[in-house]
């Protein structure tokens, strides 16, 4: 069985060490053709004997992965040598290739040629690794041809001329990607091809050197970068482009411990958002220079759209340079380093969503047109593409991938990947939102659906007789949710006990009873991480039968639940807490409005209403106590759409109203989460999943303090308690003032994050916003995967189930937590983007005049916040293009903008009347414009 041959391999790991590893060659690696007589056909992918089987080389995979993903390409052998090379060069492409290979609908087969006794090649003396790998590919192709016989054609795809020549010499048929795709006869596929920059092309361009101007400086070679970093000249970090100003980027550098600002595309030197770059810090006197330069050239293209009011510091525009906004103030030296990208260590190129810049149809040129692609996400530059179907694409949303960016071209060049749909169409735009936020909206696969219990499902007698499950059907349990909520994951009950205390229970849908660890259903949910709520649709984390029926704690049906039950005194002190799996039968599914109405209606004295009132009483005490501890009442400008059920068009839009009933339910959910957090951490100190909210730093609260100071408000931010108190004191003449300050405060804070308790020390577990030392998510397992994990932990801590093995693996748990944070954030971004989209649709037919608040002063106007619609956008005092807005003067200290003759002035937080209207400066690109009345 063991066909072994050990060999010597040499690698470099900083210093040169000789690494000796065994390398076993085998005779049980199969060819993957189901018609093969010799090989084991288990897991075979190639089914038709007469077809052409492709063997691709590494560069084809690296460059043409979009083409490979197209279903027109099939029957591909992926050699392990290719996989290894791809993995080393580009992990993103590797993952995509792996996904292709594991997709049972595609016929991609991994052939471990490196471990096959006949296809293993030993490097010859003087042969470079690349040459050896090319030879390995040729040997494998040859083996396939001999193995499968002449009935099947083996075609090696390579763009390497030398490799192709050698292949032909050795009698292997080979073709370049271009000629192969052409031979398929599908012209649309040609757009997917990455255009190779052939040498002839260069020569043509060299003929007219005057035309070619070097725009960007050449990237430094890697060796120079590494030495530079060792000497401290250069700094490594991830480039993040300002979402609101694509000409400004930040590189967080560990070697400096601070962020380096990079102004302008030229200094960014062809780096994309997310790239790992090497940065050179400019000298201090250059900082200002760069800054003013950037202001000068930014005016052409900077475009601040109207967008949804940000809800936390993570999605708020960066305000790094606002303090130095007035560059006349020469002695006000910028406090932050600015820099210049000298090299790119790792690219983060992927596919981008957007549309083509409008252009006239060119005549002739064999139907190939050059077009500029504009990404929807403004952080990315325009991308040049070649297309043969320009007419089709002009008014479409398309996906484009980037291939190269040389220093002579202003924009990177890329290629077309696929079309999503018409611009402006709601479904297309929604899909763009989903793609941009990496949300999987595909229907669940049959494997996932196979994990569901058979329908119609009802509580079985085994469930009832199960000793771990307590029968709570006799309790008066009800749920309170937003109107129209179908995925009800929490229900409550509250009974008075004879001793004057209350028994309060929070019952959460028992999702883990149906989602078992390691099943396809569980893996899918882990990947999705959370449900996403868009204005007109919901993208579920779990399949619909579970979400809306089996798990949903609907009224008048028996459901399985996981319950937290407290005994509380009448002043809301918890005497005892217990946790149990249960069977419940909810007696009413109320909406917040209904619950509120019942509590307010003093004539009603039915049991449910009494329970509601008792709970409300307890919740108020708990809330007061929580605020006493320093919890901050945050505010966000949430809006709610009324959507037409037929057309899905928004009918009305308004602030989301928060009632006492909402706060009551929230209070008990918080209490349940805290109790559960304590319980799981006690049992599993190393592998609990908790949620923390880091305290905001001084710098993060800076904009809030500046705004507050300008209106004569003094906020104490030394602790969450102090901040909460001073927020309470901040009451102006008008009723909305306090809310506005709270909204601004919320915006300065980062979001809470999930983490694995073994990764941090207990003081870091703190949740700043809730002023709780421990917090987790337990109460919404239908729509959040974190809660599913917490349910498993809680069940294990009660000894109901064993802890799944995944919890033993801390790195894996951490990676799950990171994924949850990522998905959670993306889901939020997507729902915001969806609201923005619908806001535009809503105002398209309804130009409106409304009241707005100034939240930030800028050089040429100010940013206003429209409370009624929860949106934020710029109002320009000087028109764009109109140079020298000398009429207006900005007063930084006071946060005021004044007309030079002093006749009009606007200050921050002031109320203004504005007009809102959707305009289309370019066809098919509607945007919301705000103008002062």
Partner 1 sequence: MEFVSPEGLRLDGRRPMEMRQLRAEIGTVSRADGSAVFEMGNTKVIAAVYGPREVQHRSQQQNDKALIRCEYTMANFSTGDRMRKPKGDRRSTEISLVIRQTMEACILTHLMPRSQIDIFVQVLQADGGTRSACINAATLALADAGIPMRDLVTSCSAGFLNSTPLLDLNYVEDSAGGPDVTVGILPKLDKVTLLQMDAKLPMDIFENVMQLATEGCKAVANYIREVLIENTKELENRRGL
For partner 1, the binding residues (CB under 8 A) are 1-2, 4, 6, 17-26, 80, 98, 101-102, 110, 112, 114-115, 802-803, 805, 808
Nearer to partner 1, 40 or 764 (CB): 40
Minimum CB distance to partner 1, residue 520 (Å)? 15
Minimum CB distance to partner 1, residue 140 (Å)? 14
Q: Is the sign of the CA dihedral 252, 256, 258, 260 positive or negative?
A: negative
Nearer to partner 1, 447 or 931 (CB): 447
Nearer to partner 1, 113 or 159 (CB): 113
Backbone angles phi, psi at 33, to 5 degrees: -105, 125
Q: What's the DSSP call for residue 783? A: T
Nearer to partner 1, 117 or 899 (CB): 117
Backbone angles phi, psi at 917, to 5 degrees: -155, 145
Please state, in angstroms and rounded to a whole number, the distance separating the CA atoms of residues 655 and 736: 13
Nearer to partner 1, 23 or 388 (CB): 23
Contact of 79 with 111, CB cutoff 8 Å:
yes
Nearer to partner 1, 26 or 640 (CB): 26
Nearer to partner 1, 27 or 606 (CB): 27
Helix (H, G, I), strand (E, B) or coil at 452: coil
Nearer to partner 1, 2 or 900 (CB): 2
Please state, in angstroms and rounded to a whole number, the distance separating the CA atoms of residues 645 and 650: 9
Strand partners, 416: 400
Instruction: Please choose, from the candidates 29, 167, 183, the residue with its C-alpha nearest in 3D space to the C-alpha of residue 109.
Output: 29
- Measuring CA to CA, how many Å separate 56 from each of 36, 63, 160? 21, 11, 11
Minimum CB distance to partner 1, residue 781 (Å)? 23
Minimum CB distance to partner 1, residue 828 (Å)? 32
Please state, in angstroms and rounded to a whole number, the distance separating the CA atoms of residues 589 and 487: 11
Nearer to partner 1, 31 or 192 (CB): 31
Minimum CB distance to partner 1, residue 112 (Å)? 5
**Residues 6+ positions from 898 with CB-CB distance below 8 Å:** 888, 889, 890, 891, 904, 905, 906
Instruction: Please choose, from the candidates 915, 903, 922, 924, the residue with its C-alpha nearest in 3D space to the C-alpha of residue 848.
Output: 915
Backbone angles phi, psi at 87, to 5 degrees: -60, -40
Nearer to partner 1, 28 or 699 (CB): 28
Burial of residue 901, with CB atoms counted within 10 A of its CB: 0-12 exposed, 13-18 middle, 19 or more buried:
exposed
Nearer to partner 1, 76 or 897 (CB): 76
Please state, in angstroms and rounded to a whole number, the distance separating the CA atoms of residues 469 and 462: 10
Minimum CB distance to partner 1, residue 25 (Å)? 7
Nearer to partner 1, 36 or 475 (CB): 36
Contact of 837 with 429, CB cutoff 8 Å:
yes
Please state, in angstroms and rounded to a whole number, the distance separating the CA atoms of residues 804 and 793: 9
- Measuring CA to CA, how many Å separate 413 from each of 193, 407, 809, 842? 12, 12, 43, 36
Pairing of strands 469-471, 477-481: unpaired
Please state, in angstroms and rounded to a whole number, the distance separating the CA atoms of residues 608 and 1: 72
Instruction: Give DSSP secondary structure letters for 363-407.
Output: P-GGG-EEEEEEESSTTS--EEEEES-HHHHTTEEEEEEEEE--T
- Measuring CA to CA, how many Å separate 720 from each of 305, 723, 751, 760? 33, 5, 15, 21
Minimum CB distance to partner 1, residue 86 (Å)? 13
Minimum CB distance to partner 1, residue 147 (Å)? 17
Contact of 215 with 407, CB cutoff 8 Å:
yes
Nearer to partner 1, 45 or 777 (CB): 45
**Residues 6+ positions from 81 with CB-CB distance below 8 Å:** 58, 113, 114, 133, 136, 137, 140
3-state secondary structure 265-308: HHHHCCCCCCCEEEEEECCHHHHHHHHHHHHHHHHHHCCCCCEE
Minimum CB distance to partner 1, residue 808 (Å)? 6
Nearer to partner 1, 85 or 315 (CB): 85
Minimum CB distance to partner 1, residue 9 (Å)? 10
Minimum CB distance to partner 1, residue 259 (Å)? 31
- 56's tokens: 């691709």
Minimum CB distance to partner 1, residue 690 (Å)? 20
Nearer to partner 1, 232 or 805 (CB): 805
Minimum CB distance to partner 1, residue 110 (Å)? 5
Minimum CB distance to partner 1, residue 543 (Å)? 25
Please state, in angstroms and rounded to a whole number, the distance separating the CA atoms of residues 857 and 707: 10
Nearer to partner 1, 84 or 666 (CB): 84
Minimum CB distance to partner 1, residue 813 (Å)? 13
Nearer to partner 1, 80 or 530 (CB): 80
Please state, in angstroms and rounded to a whole number, the distance separating the CA atoms of residues 216 and 505: 65
Instruction: Please choose, from the candidates 746, 772, 748, 753, the residue with its C-alpha nearest in 3D space to the C-alpha of residue 634.
Output: 746
Instruction: For Cα atoms 669, 673, 676, give the angle at the middle one, nearest 5 degrees.
Output: 135
Strand partners, 32: none
Minimum CB distance to partner 1, residue 847 (Å)? 57
Please state, in angstroms and rounded to a whole number, the distance separating the CA atoms of residues 395 and 36: 49
Contact of 490 with 505, CB cutoff 8 Å:
no
Nearer to partner 1, 594 or 759 (CB): 759
Minimum CB distance to partner 1, residue 121 (Å)? 14
Minimum CB distance to partner 1, residue 2 (Å)? 6
């Amino acid at each position: 069985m063991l066909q072994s041959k050990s060999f010597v391999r040499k690698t470099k790991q900083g210093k040169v060490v000789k690494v000796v590893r065994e390398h076993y060659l085998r005779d049980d690696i199969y060819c993957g053709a189901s018609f093969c007589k010799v090989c084991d056909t288990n897991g075979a992918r190639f089914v038709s004997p007469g077809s052409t089987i492709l063997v691709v080389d590494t560069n084809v995979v690296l460059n043409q992965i979009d083409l490979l993903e197209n279903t027109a390409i099939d029957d591909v052998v992926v050699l392990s040598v290719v996989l290894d090379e791809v993995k080393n060069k580009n992990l993103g492409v590797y993952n995509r290739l792996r996904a292709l290979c594991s997709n049972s609908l595609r016929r991609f087969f991994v052939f471990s040629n490196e471990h096959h006794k006949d296809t293993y090649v030993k490097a010859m003396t003087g042969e470079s690794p690349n040459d050896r790998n090319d030879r390995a590919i040729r040997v494998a192709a040859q083996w396939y041809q001999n193995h499968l016989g002449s009935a099947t054609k083996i075609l090696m795809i390579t763009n390497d001329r030398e490799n192709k020549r050698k292949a032909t010499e050795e009698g292997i048929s080979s073709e370049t990607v271009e000629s192969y795709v052409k031979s398929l006869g599908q012209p649309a596929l040609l757009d997917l091809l990455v255009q190779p920059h052939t040498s002839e092309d260069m020569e043509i361009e060299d003929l007219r050197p005057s035309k070619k101007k070097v725009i960007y400086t050449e990237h430094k070679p890697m060796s120079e970068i590494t030495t530079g970093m060792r000497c401290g000249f250069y700094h490594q970090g991830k480039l993040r482009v300002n979402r609101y100003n694509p000409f400004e980027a930040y590189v967080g550098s560990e070697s400096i411990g601070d962020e380096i600002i990079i102004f302008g595309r030229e200094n960014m030197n062809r780096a994309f958002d997310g790239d790992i770059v090497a940065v050179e810090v400019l000298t201090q006197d250059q900082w200002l220079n760069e800054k003013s330069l950037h202001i000068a050239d930014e005016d052409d293209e900077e475009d601040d759209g109207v967008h949804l009011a940000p809800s936390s510091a993570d999605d708020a525009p960066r305000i790094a340079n606002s303090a130095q906004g007035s560059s006349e103030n020469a002695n006000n030296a910028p406090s932050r380093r600015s820099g210049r990208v000298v090299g790119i260590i790792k690219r983060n190129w992927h596919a981008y969503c957007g549309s083509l810049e409008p252009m006239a149809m060119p005549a002739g040129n064999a139907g190939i047109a050059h077009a500029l692609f504009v990404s929807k996400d403004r952080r990315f530059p325009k991308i040049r593409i070649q297309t043969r179907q320009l007419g089709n694409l002009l008014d479409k949303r398309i996906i484009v991938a980037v291939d190269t960016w040389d220093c002579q071209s202003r924009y990177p060049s890329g290629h077309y990947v696929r079309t999503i749909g018409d611009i402006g169409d709601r479904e297309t735009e929604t899909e763009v939102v989903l793609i941009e936020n990496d949300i999987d909206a595909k229907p669940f696969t049959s494997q996932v659906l196979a994990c569901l219990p058979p329908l119609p499902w009802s509580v079985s007698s085994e469930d009832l007789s199960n000793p771990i499950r307590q029968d709570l059907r006799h309790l008066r349990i009800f749920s309170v949710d937003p109107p129209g909520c179908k995925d009800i994951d929490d229900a409550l009950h509250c009974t008075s006990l004879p001793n004057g205390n209350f028994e309060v229970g929070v019952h959460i849908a028992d999702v883990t009873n149906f989602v078992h660890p390691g099943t396809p259903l569980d893996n899918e949910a882990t990947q999705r991480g959370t449900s996403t709520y868009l204005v007109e649709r919901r993208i579920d984390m779990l399949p619909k039968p579970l979400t809306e029926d089996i798990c949903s704690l609907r009224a008048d049906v028996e459901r399985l639940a996981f319950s937290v039950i407290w005994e509380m005194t009448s002043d809301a002190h918890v005497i005892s807490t217990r946790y149990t799996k249960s069977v419940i039968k909810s007696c009413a599914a109320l909406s917040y409005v209904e619950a509120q109405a019942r509590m307010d209606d003093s004539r009603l004295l039915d049991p449910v209403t009494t329970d509601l009132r008792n709970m409300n009483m307890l919740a108020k005490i708990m809330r007061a106590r929580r605020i006493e501890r320093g919890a901050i009442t945050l505010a966000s400008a949430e809006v709610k759409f009324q959507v037409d059920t037929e057309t899905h068009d928004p009918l009305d839009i308004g602030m989301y109203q928060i009632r006492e009933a909402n706060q009551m339910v929230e209070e008990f959910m918080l209490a349940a989460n805290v109790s559960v957090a304590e319980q799981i951490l006690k049992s599993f100190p190393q592998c609990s999943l908790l949620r923390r909210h880091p305290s905001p730093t001084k710098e993060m609260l800076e904009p809030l303090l500046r705004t507050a100071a300008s209106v004569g408000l003094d906020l104490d931010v030394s602790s969450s308690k102090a901040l909460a108190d001073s927020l309470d004191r901040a009451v102006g003449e008008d009723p909305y003032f306090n809310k506005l300050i709270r909204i601004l405060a919320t915006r300065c804070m980062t979001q809470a994050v999930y983490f694995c308790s073994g990764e941090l020390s207990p003081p870091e577990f703190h949740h700043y916003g809730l002023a709780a030392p421990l917090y987790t998510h337990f109460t919404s397992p239908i729509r959040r995967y974190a809660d599913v994990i917490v349910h498993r932990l809680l069940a294990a801590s009660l000894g109901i189930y064993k802890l799944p093995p995944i919890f033993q693996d801390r790195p894996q748990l951490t990676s799950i937590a990171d994924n949850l944070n990522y998905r959670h954030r993306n889901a939020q971004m997507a729902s915001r983007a969806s609201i923005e989209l619908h806001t535009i649709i809503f105002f398209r037919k309804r130009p409106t005049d409304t009241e707005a608040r100034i939240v930030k002063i800028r050089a040429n106007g100010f940013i206003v916040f429209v409370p009624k619609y929860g949106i934020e956008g710029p109002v320009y005092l000087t028109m764009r293009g109109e140079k020298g807005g000398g009429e207006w003067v900005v007063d930084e200290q006071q946060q005021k903008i004044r007309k030079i003759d002093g006749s009009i002035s606007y200050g921050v937080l002031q109320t203004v009347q504005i007009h809102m209207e959707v305009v289309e400066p370019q066809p098919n690109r509607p945007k919301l414009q705000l103008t002062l009345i």
